[in-house]
Protein backbone atom coordinates (compact mmCIF):
# COMPACT_ATOMS: atom_id res chain seq x y z
CA UNK A 1 0.00 0.00 0.00
CA UNK A 2 1.21 3.51 -0.83
CA UNK A 3 2.50 5.27 2.31
CA UNK A 4 0.34 8.28 1.53
CA UNK A 5 -2.80 6.19 1.85
CA UNK A 6 -1.70 4.91 5.23
CA UNK A 7 -1.84 8.37 6.80
CA UNK A 8 -5.59 9.02 6.33
CA UNK A 9 -6.39 5.37 7.12
CA UNK A 10 -4.39 5.64 10.35
CA UNK A 11 -6.34 8.76 11.30
CA UNK A 12 -9.55 6.87 10.55
CA UNK A 13 -8.38 4.11 12.88
CA UNK A 14 -7.93 6.73 15.63
CA UNK A 15 -11.49 7.88 14.93
CA UNK A 16 -12.67 4.30 15.51
CA UNK A 17 -10.59 3.91 18.67
CA UNK A 18 -12.03 7.14 20.08
CA UNK A 19 -15.52 5.87 19.33
CA UNK A 20 -14.79 2.59 21.13
CA UNK A 21 -13.49 4.51 24.15
CA UNK A 22 -16.70 6.57 24.10
CA UNK A 23 -18.75 3.36 24.26
CA UNK A 24 -16.63 2.05 27.14
CA UNK A 25 -17.17 5.29 29.06
CA UNK A 26 -20.94 5.07 28.54
CA UNK A 27 -20.91 1.52 29.90
CA UNK A 28 -18.93 2.76 32.90
CA UNK A 29 -21.47 5.51 33.48
CA UNK A 30 -19.34 8.54 32.58
CA UNK A 31 -21.33 10.27 29.84
CA UNK A 32 -19.28 13.45 29.99
CA UNK A 33 -16.01 11.66 29.15
CA UNK A 34 -17.86 9.62 26.52
CA UNK A 35 -18.96 12.86 24.88
CA UNK A 36 -15.41 14.17 24.83
CA UNK A 37 -14.27 11.02 23.03
CA UNK A 38 -16.98 11.58 20.40
CA UNK A 39 -15.64 15.09 19.85
CA UNK A 40 -12.14 13.62 19.55
CA UNK A 41 -13.46 11.12 16.99
CA UNK A 42 -14.96 14.02 15.03
CA UNK A 43 -11.56 15.72 15.00
CA UNK A 44 -9.90 12.58 13.59
CA UNK A 45 -12.73 12.26 11.05
CA UNK A 46 -12.04 15.80 9.87
CA UNK A 47 -8.29 15.17 9.74
CA UNK A 48 -8.50 11.92 7.76
CA UNK A 49 -10.62 13.55 5.05
CA UNK A 50 -8.33 16.56 4.92
CA UNK A 51 -5.23 14.36 4.71
CA UNK A 52 -6.77 12.25 1.94
CA UNK A 53 -7.47 15.36 -0.15
CA UNK A 54 -4.11 17.05 0.47
CA UNK A 55 -2.11 13.89 -0.23
CA UNK A 56 -4.38 12.81 -3.08
CA UNK A 57 -4.68 9.52 -1.21
CA UNK A 58 -8.36 8.70 -1.61
CA UNK A 59 -9.11 5.01 -1.95
CA UNK A 60 -12.09 2.68 -1.87
CA UNK A 61 -10.64 1.00 1.21
CA UNK A 62 -10.34 4.35 2.97
CA UNK A 63 -13.91 5.25 2.04
CA UNK A 64 -15.35 2.03 3.44
CA UNK A 65 -13.14 2.13 6.53
CA UNK A 66 -14.23 5.70 7.22
CA UNK A 67 -17.91 4.75 7.13
CA UNK A 68 -17.38 1.77 9.43
CA UNK A 69 -15.54 3.96 11.93
CA UNK A 70 -18.23 6.65 11.68
CA UNK A 71 -20.96 4.12 12.42
CA UNK A 72 -19.27 3.27 15.71
CA UNK A 73 -18.23 6.79 16.71
CA UNK A 74 -21.22 8.74 15.41
CA UNK A 75 -23.92 6.08 15.45
CA UNK A 76 -23.50 3.55 18.24
CA UNK A 77 -21.76 5.83 20.77
CA UNK A 78 -24.26 8.75 20.67
CA UNK A 79 -27.11 6.21 20.58
CA UNK A 80 -25.91 4.73 23.86
CA UNK A 81 -25.54 8.19 25.38
CA UNK A 82 -29.12 9.04 24.47
CA UNK A 83 -30.34 5.69 25.80
CA UNK A 84 -28.80 6.52 29.17
CA UNK A 85 -30.08 10.11 29.21
CA UNK A 86 -33.63 9.14 28.28
CA UNK A 87 -33.53 6.32 30.84
CA UNK A 88 -32.54 8.80 33.56
CA UNK A 89 -35.40 11.10 32.56
CA UNK A 90 -37.92 8.25 32.86
CA UNK A 91 -37.40 7.84 36.60
CA UNK A 92 -40.61 8.60 38.49
CA UNK A 93 -42.61 9.32 35.34
CA UNK A 94 -46.36 8.64 35.14
CA UNK A 95 -46.17 8.07 31.36
CA UNK A 96 -46.90 4.43 30.51
CA UNK A 97 -44.13 4.26 27.86
CA UNK A 98 -41.63 5.57 30.36
CA UNK A 99 -42.87 3.35 33.19
CA UNK A 100 -42.42 0.32 30.94
CA UNK A 101 -38.99 1.65 29.95
CA UNK A 102 -39.92 1.71 26.27
CA UNK A 103 -39.05 5.35 25.54
CA UNK A 104 -35.25 4.88 25.90
CA UNK A 105 -35.29 2.43 23.00
CA UNK A 106 -36.03 5.34 20.66
CA UNK A 107 -32.27 5.93 20.96
CA UNK A 108 -31.70 2.87 18.76
CA UNK A 109 -32.88 5.01 15.84
CA UNK A 110 -29.57 6.89 15.94
CA UNK A 111 -27.26 3.98 15.01
CA UNK A 112 -29.84 2.45 12.64
CA UNK A 113 -30.46 5.68 10.71
CA UNK A 114 -26.73 6.48 10.80
CA UNK A 115 -26.05 3.14 9.10
CA UNK A 116 -28.52 3.96 6.31
CA UNK A 117 -27.07 7.47 6.00
CA UNK A 118 -23.50 6.21 5.66
CA UNK A 119 -24.45 3.45 3.23
CA UNK A 120 -26.24 5.94 1.00
CA UNK A 121 -23.27 8.30 1.14
CA UNK A 122 -20.94 5.52 -0.04
CA UNK A 123 -22.96 4.79 -3.17
CA UNK A 124 -23.97 8.37 -4.00
CA UNK A 125 -21.24 10.21 -5.89
CA UNK A 126 -23.17 13.50 -6.00
CA UNK A 127 -22.47 14.51 -2.38
CA UNK A 128 -19.35 16.58 -2.99
CA UNK A 129 -20.79 20.10 -2.81
CA UNK A 130 -23.59 19.25 -0.41
CA UNK A 131 -24.94 16.44 1.77
CA UNK A 132 -28.23 14.63 1.43
CA UNK A 133 -29.48 14.32 4.99
CA UNK A 134 -27.80 15.38 8.21
CA UNK A 135 -24.13 14.30 8.26
CA UNK A 136 -23.51 11.70 10.96
CA UNK A 137 -20.71 13.71 12.69
CA UNK A 138 -23.00 16.75 13.06
CA UNK A 139 -25.79 14.55 14.41
CA UNK A 140 -23.41 12.90 16.89
CA UNK A 141 -21.97 16.24 18.05
CA UNK A 142 -25.48 17.51 18.82
CA UNK A 143 -26.26 14.56 21.07
CA UNK A 144 -22.75 14.42 22.55
CA UNK A 145 -23.08 18.08 23.58
CA UNK A 146 -26.02 17.33 25.89
CA UNK A 147 -24.00 15.70 28.73
CA UNK A 148 -21.51 18.57 28.51
CA UNK A 149 -24.29 21.14 28.85
CA UNK A 150 -25.71 19.26 31.85
CA UNK A 151 -22.31 18.77 33.50
CA UNK A 152 -21.29 22.42 33.11
CA UNK A 153 -24.71 23.83 34.00
CA UNK A 154 -23.04 26.42 36.28
CA UNK A 155 -20.45 27.32 33.65
CA UNK A 156 -19.22 30.85 34.37
CA UNK A 157 -17.69 31.23 30.91
CA UNK A 158 -21.10 31.83 29.36
CA UNK A 159 -21.83 35.55 28.91
CA UNK A 160 -25.52 34.76 28.45
CA UNK A 161 -26.55 31.75 30.59
CA UNK A 162 -29.07 29.41 29.01
CA UNK A 163 -30.08 27.58 32.16
CA UNK A 164 -33.41 26.54 30.66
CA UNK A 165 -31.48 24.04 28.52
CA UNK A 166 -30.72 22.04 31.67
CA UNK A 167 -34.42 21.30 32.21
CA UNK A 168 -34.92 20.90 28.47
CA UNK A 169 -32.24 18.22 28.19
CA UNK A 170 -33.38 16.25 31.25
CA UNK A 171 -36.92 15.79 29.97
CA UNK A 172 -37.18 12.27 28.57
CA UNK A 173 -40.04 13.13 26.20
CA UNK A 174 -38.16 16.08 24.70
CA UNK A 175 -35.06 13.92 24.32
CA UNK A 176 -37.10 11.21 22.59
CA UNK A 177 -38.63 13.77 20.21
CA UNK A 178 -35.19 15.19 19.39
CA UNK A 179 -33.91 11.66 18.78
CA UNK A 180 -36.72 10.89 16.33
CA UNK A 181 -36.39 14.27 14.58
CA UNK A 182 -32.63 14.11 14.08
CA UNK A 183 -32.78 10.44 13.08
CA UNK A 184 -35.27 11.38 10.40
CA UNK A 185 -32.95 14.15 9.18
CA UNK A 186 -30.18 11.56 8.79
CA UNK A 187 -32.15 9.58 6.21
CA UNK A 188 -34.17 12.42 4.68
CA UNK A 189 -33.63 13.99 1.25
CA UNK A 190 -33.02 17.36 2.89
CA UNK A 191 -29.93 19.04 1.39
CA UNK A 192 -27.29 20.45 3.74
CA UNK A 193 -24.26 22.43 2.65
CA UNK A 194 -20.73 21.08 2.93
CA UNK A 195 -17.99 23.00 4.73
CA UNK A 196 -15.43 22.19 2.02
CA UNK A 197 -13.96 25.45 0.69
CA UNK A 198 -12.75 25.27 -2.91
CA UNK A 199 -11.87 28.97 -2.85
CA UNK A 200 -11.97 31.66 -0.17
CA UNK A 201 -14.13 34.22 -1.99
CA UNK A 202 -17.45 35.31 -0.51
CA UNK A 203 -19.35 34.39 -3.67
CA UNK A 204 -20.20 30.73 -3.57
CA UNK A 205 -19.30 30.46 0.12
CA UNK A 206 -22.03 32.65 1.62
CA UNK A 207 -23.52 29.79 3.64
CA UNK A 208 -20.14 28.70 4.98
CA UNK A 209 -19.06 32.16 6.12
CA UNK A 210 -22.48 32.84 7.66
CA UNK A 211 -22.29 29.57 9.55
CA UNK A 212 -18.73 30.26 10.76
CA UNK A 213 -19.73 33.75 11.91
CA UNK A 214 -22.77 32.45 13.80
CA UNK A 215 -20.71 29.65 15.34
CA UNK A 216 -18.03 32.01 16.67
CA UNK A 217 -20.67 34.41 18.00
CA UNK A 218 -22.53 31.60 19.76
CA UNK A 219 -19.33 30.27 21.33
CA UNK A 220 -18.44 33.72 22.66
CA UNK A 221 -21.90 34.35 24.08
CA UNK A 222 -22.95 30.90 25.28
CA UNK A 223 -19.72 28.85 25.72
CA UNK A 224 -20.60 25.12 25.88
CA UNK A 225 -24.28 25.89 25.59
CA UNK A 226 -23.49 27.03 22.05
CA UNK A 227 -22.68 23.55 20.70
CA UNK A 228 -26.25 22.28 20.20
CA UNK A 229 -27.23 25.75 18.96
CA UNK A 230 -24.47 25.62 16.33
CA UNK A 231 -25.82 22.33 14.98
CA UNK A 232 -29.32 23.82 14.90
CA UNK A 233 -27.98 26.86 13.05
CA UNK A 234 -26.41 24.50 10.49
CA UNK A 235 -29.85 23.05 9.84
CA UNK A 236 -31.55 26.47 9.73
CA UNK A 237 -29.00 27.96 7.30
CA UNK A 238 -29.35 24.89 5.07
CA UNK A 239 -33.12 25.32 5.18
CA UNK A 240 -32.88 29.01 4.31
CA UNK A 241 -30.56 28.34 1.35
CA UNK A 242 -32.27 25.10 0.32
CA UNK A 243 -33.11 26.21 -3.23
CA UNK A 244 -29.55 27.42 -3.81
CA UNK A 245 -28.07 24.15 -2.49
CA UNK A 246 -30.35 22.05 -4.71
CA UNK A 247 -29.55 24.21 -7.74
CA UNK A 248 -25.79 23.86 -7.23
CA UNK A 249 -26.14 20.13 -6.67
pLDDT in tens, 198-244: 776 777 778 899 999 999 999 988 888 899 999 999 999 999 888 88
Of 180, 181, 186, give the one whose Cα is nearest residue 135. 186
**What digits encode the pLDDT tens for the residues 6-36?**
899 999 999 999 999 999 999 999 999 999 9
Taking the domains of the chain in order of start, what are their residue ranges? 3-147+163-192
Return the half-sphere exposure (C-beta side, CA atoms, 13 A cut-off) of residue 166: 9
Per-residue pLDDT, averaged over 182-193, amounts to: 94
d(CA 49, CA 9): 9
Percent of the chain with pLDDT over 90: 56
Cβ distance 197 to 113 under 8 Å?
A: no
The residues with which 130 forms a beta bridge, in sequence order, are: 193
**Cβ within 8 Å of residue 165, ≥6 positions away:** 149, 225, 228
Confidence of residue 60 (pLDDT cuts 50, 70, 90): confident
Does position 249 have pLDDT exceeding 70, yes or no? Answer: no
Helix (H, G, I), strand (E, B) or coil at 191: strand
Domain 3-147+163-192 has CATH 1.20.120.1760: yes
pLDDT at 102: 83
pLDDT at 134: 94
Amino acid sequence: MNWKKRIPNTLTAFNLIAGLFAIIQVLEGDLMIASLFIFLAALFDFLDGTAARLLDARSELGKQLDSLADLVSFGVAPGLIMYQLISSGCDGSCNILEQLHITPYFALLIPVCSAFRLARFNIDLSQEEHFIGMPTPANAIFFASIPLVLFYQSNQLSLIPLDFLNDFFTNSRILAILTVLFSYLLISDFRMFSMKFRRLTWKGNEMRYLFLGLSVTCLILFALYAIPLIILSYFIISLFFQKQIVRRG
